[in-house]
Amino acid sequence: MFRPRIVSEKFRTCFGIAAIATGLLVVQMHPLHAQANWDRPGADYSRSVLPSGDPAVCALQCERDRKCHAWSFNYPSVNDDGAVCWLKSSVPARVPSNCCVSGVRGAGVVEPRNSAIEVETDRQGGDLRNVEVGVNATGETCKAVCEADEKCRAWTYARPGYIGKSARCFLKDAVKPPRRKPGFISGVVR
């Protein structure tokens, strides 16, 4: 009587390990994270305006809706009232686009990070001055403006629609602590 129970426990353990290994292999083959600067056009069944302007809110809407398989978040722009979340009934192919963050259900939002650019980050305070940099500007534009000013030590770029209709670059004469804030990109140059 005792022997079948041991075999059964060993079988469950081996089966569990095999299931975990298979799951890890699938995750490694298809990384589960949203992609900044990518759109997934098509297969839309729901459109909602997001006053917060946070792509994580769009990802959460998809998670809570069984019909949703993928999503695209559009940053606020000069033509819209705010950020827009598009829920998708399938997983369309992704295309490069600076307007958007997109992902598949279960992916969440992982913004790219490197030592020079801090995505979804504000360095509030220490403002030396701020300049309008236009609708087509990027965080790299703001970084270049800061590097050209010898008094500038750090910068924060606000995407169009977050502070006003145009993008703004805030040049800083002091390095302030970073804080998560959707729609903003920051960096330190000196």
Which tens digits make up the pLDDT trace of 141-190? 999 999 999 999 999 999 988 888 888 999 999 999 999 999 999 999 98
For 35-104, give the CATH class. Answer: alpha beta
CA atoms within 13 A on the CB side of 140: 3
Cβ neighbours around 55 below 10 Å, total: 28
Q: For residue 31, what pLDDT is reported?
A: 45
Find the range with the poorest average confidence among 1-15, 27-41, 81-95, 127-141: 1-15
In the 3-class helix/strand/coil scheme, how is 69-86 assigned residue by residue? CEEEEECCCCCCCCEEEE
Tokens encoding 183: 């729609």
Report how far apart, in Å, the C-alpha atoms of 190 and of each of 79, 156, 187 are.
Answer: 36, 14, 10
Instruction: Return the bridge partners of 127, or none.
Output: 172
Whether the domain at 35-104 and the domain at 118-188 fall into the same CATH topology: yes
> How large is the average pLDDT for residues 33-45?
88
- Asked if 65 and 73 touch (Cβ cutoff 8 Å), the reply is no
pLDDT digits (tens, 9 = 90+) for 96-131: 988 899 999 987 776 666 667 898 899 999 999 999
77 and 53 in contact (C-beta within 8 Å)? no
Domain regions of the chain by residue span: 1-30, 35-104, 118-188
Segment 52-60 mean pLDDT: 90
The end-to-end CA distance of the chain, in Å, is 73
Topology at the third CATH level for domain 118-188? Hepatocyte Growth Factor (3.50.4)
Question: At which residue do the structure tokens 């056009």 appear?
Answer: 41
* Residues 115, 143: Cα–Cα separation, whole Å: 13
